[in-house]
Amino acid sequence: MEVVYLLIPIAILLVAAMVGAFVWASKSGQFDDLEGPAHRILMDKDEPQEPVPRRTKRKRSKSATDRPGPKAK
């Protein structure tokens, strides 16, 4: 029963902190425009990118694993 005397004030302080954080966020404009950034990213005008140069194929040198080995009979 003694633990209730400790938990109730802690709960009240926690609720007060949450309410204070909500009031601060509301006053600082955190909830003013919730859909604007979502639409803005879709309507963003991207600059055209330069084409990526193609790589030319290089001739492979034969490694030890590419060389034919002794034939099995």
State pLDDT tens for residues 34-73: 788 777 777 766 666 677 777 777 766 666 566 666 666 5
pLDDT at 42: 77
Does residue 29 contact residue 35 with C-beta atoms inside 8 Å?
A: no
> Is residue 11's pLDDT more than 80?
yes
Provide the whole-model pTM.
0.47
pLDDT of residue 6: 95
How open is the CA angle 20-24-30, to the nearest 5 degrees?
135
pLDDT at residue 3, as a whole number:
94
| Residues 6 or more apart in contact with residue 60 via CB below 8 angstroms | 66
Q: Of 40, 22, 39, 44, nearest to 31 (Cα)?
A: 22
Cα–Cα distance measured from residue 40 to residue 52, given in angstroms and rounded to the nearest whole number: 28
Paired tokens of 66 = 């590419």
